[in-house]
Amino acid sequence: MSKHYVYVSLPSAAKIACYAQDPDTGKLSFLRDTTLPGGAAPLAVDHPQRCLYAALGTSQIASFAIDPESGELSPLGLLSLSAVPCYLSLDQTGRFLLSAYYTAGAAAVHPLNSDGSVNEVPAVWLSTARCAHAILTDPSNRYAYVPHVAQSNVIFQYVFDEKTGRLAPNRVSKVKPLPGAGPRHYTYHPSLPVVYFDNEQGSSVTAYHLDKGTGALSPFQTLSTLPEGFSKDNTCAHIAIHPTGRFLYAANRGHDSLAGFALDSQGKMTSLGQQPTEKVPTHFATDAAGRFLYAAGQGGDRLAAYKVDPQSGRLSLLDTYTVGNNPYWVLPVSLGGQ
């Protein structure tokens, strides 16, 4: 029988909270906390969903084995770094952990050991620019991109070697967005050669065509994440695509909402408006089936749960959960199938 869990990082409490998820109702039930040696922010899980990785504010990455029956996290190792990671992801083979570094302006790739722990010797450590914010390999595992917010306002383009874990600048090494955009996070369309970046300073989402032969990105559409007439301060945080590839969501910090978009057969966006959510929604995620979405309000102590309408993509609030001060990252995990 499959098991479903939702992990929530709580940096100010230096722990990860684990909840059991009912896959039929979306209801969450608290199970336990895992105490950490430092405040955890970004989380990641490997593709078999047997290991969880947490970036710590103490310039470390903690790795854990996930018990498939209970969801309990057992420590596998603690990697010390020279900088604080702001983003973690795994390549498509599950052999390498990729990381981005905001203050240090860097990106790195570390091999994973046979037990899932992170090898202390990186395959590559690259200086990029200040305010690097994410890194992910594309579905072909041939390319990776590092967006930079604020004054850097650039996307670095890399070729990824899945045998060695090395990153090399692509032939065209950078994409320069419109002034003031600030690309922060991004997500790949599951079946189209399209990548969506949310723009932190621009409060918008830009869709890029991805050339499968060269890995080059070219923008073709940008839409605001805000309602018309909103003039207060706002920054975008996370972006995620629905598993079906039909819907896209981006978090507004300031407007405190989740902007929704419908995607057509070519990947073009149409706004669905905004769903109010908890204060400062820095991260959110859907479950594997795409039936429910969970958003953490970093400006408070609650996690909001929404049902996703499978036809329209619109969100309807199911419940809110008090999870602890300043919840940050949300990571749904399904073990043993959906």
pLDDT at 278: 98
- In this predicted structure, the answer to whether residue 228 has a pLDDT above a threshold of 90 is yes
- In this predicted structure, the answer to whether residue 92 has a pLDDT above a threshold of 70 is yes
The pLDDT tens digits of the residues spanning 123-151 come to 999 999 999 999 999 999 999 999 999 99
- In this predicted structure, the answer to whether residue 337 has a pLDDT above a threshold of 70 is no
**Percent residues over pLDDT 70 in the chain:** 99
pLDDT at 338: 47
The pLDDT tens digits of the residues spanning 158-200 come to 999 999 999 999 999 999 999 999 999 999 999 999 999 999 9
47 falls in which pLDDT band (50, 70, 90)?
confident
Contact 304, 259 (CB under 8 A): no
The pLDDT tens digits of the residues spanning 31-40 come to 999 999 999 8
Amino acid identity at 147: P
The pLDDT tens digits of the residues spanning 230-283 come to 999 999 999 999 999 999 999 999 999 999 999 999 999 999 999 999 999 999
Whole-structure pTM value: 0.97
pLDDT at 34: 97
Q: Does domain 36-173 sit in CATH 2.130.10.10?
A: yes
